[in-house]
Amino acid sequence: MPAANELEEIYVTRPDLPDLEDFIPYLQEIWDSKILTNGGPFHHKFEQKLCEYLGVEFIALFTNATIGLVTALQALRISGEVITTPYSFVATAHSLLWNGIKPVFVDIDPATLNMDPARIEAAITPQTTAIMPVHCYGHPCDVDRIRAIADTYGLKVIYDAAHAFGVQCHCGSVLNHGDLSVLSFHATKVFTTFEGGAVVCPDEKTRQRINYLKNFGFADEVTVVAPGINGKMSEFNAALGLLQLKGVDRAFAQRRAIDERYRAGLAGVRGIRCVPMAGETLSNYAYFPILVQPDYPLTRDSLYHKFRDNGIFVRRYFYPLISEFPMYRGLASASQANLPVATKLAQQVLCLPIYPGLRNDQVDRILDLLSGNLAWSAK
Ligand code: T4K
Q: Is the CB of 155 under 6 A from ligand 1?
A: no
- Tell me the CA–centroid distance for residue 351 and ligand 1, in Å: 13
* Residue-by-residue DSSP string for 317-339: TT-S-GGGSTTTTTSGGGSGGG-
Over the stretch 110-146, which tens digit does the pLDDT of each residue have?
A: 999 999 999 999 999 999 999 999 999 999 999 999 9
Residues 6+ apart with CB under 8 A from 17: 192
Q: Which long-range contacts (CB under 8 A, 24 or more apart) does 169-173 make?
A: 169/140, 169/143, 169/279, 169/280, 169/281, 170/279, 170/281, 172/55, 173/54, 173/55, 173/56
Determine the Cα–Cα distance for residues 17 and 240; give it in Å rounded to an integer.
Answer: 9
For residue 323, the model assigns a pLDDT of 98
Q: How confident is the model at residue 189 (pLDDT cuts 50, 70, 90)?
A: very high
Length of the chain: 379
Q: Is the CB of 201 under 6 A from ligand 1?
A: no
Distance from residue 89's CA to the centre of ligand 1 (Å)? 9
Spatial distance between the Cα atoms of 339 and 109, rounded to a whole number of angstroms: 11
Cross-strand pairs, 224: 218
| Single-letter amino acid code for the residue at 8 | E
Where does the pLDDT of residue 379 fall: very low under 50, low under 70, confident under 90, or very high at 90 and above? low
Which candidate, 191, 190, 139, 145, places its Cα nearest to that of 160?
139
For the cut 80, the answer to whether the pLDDT of residue 365 exceeds it is yes
> Distance between CA 266 and CA 269 in Å, rounded?
5
Residue 332: pLDDT over 70: yes
| Whole-number CA gyration radius for the chain | 21
| Residue 2 predicted with pLDDT over 50 | no
Query: Which among 13, 135, 186, 352 is the best mutation to test ligand 1's pocket, defined by most ligand atoms within 8 Å of the CB?
Result: 186
Per-residue pLDDT for 190 more than 50? yes
Closest CA to 146 of 173, 174, 177: 177
Q: 84: phi > 0 → left, psi -120 to 50 → alpha, else beta; which? A: beta
Contact 322, 328 (CB under 8 A): yes
H runs (alpha helix) in 106-247: 120-123, 143-153, 204-213, 235-244
Q: Which residues contact residue 326 at a Cβ distance below 8 angstroms, ignoring those fewer than 6 apart?
A: none
- Of all protein residues, whose CA lies closest to atom 43 belonging to ligand 1? 187
pLDDT at 1 over 80: no
CA distances from 263 to 276, 294, 314 (A): 10, 20, 17
Q: Could you report the per-residue pLDDT of 221-265, keeping only the tens digit for each?
A: 999 999 999 999 999 999 999 999 999 999 999 999 999 999 999
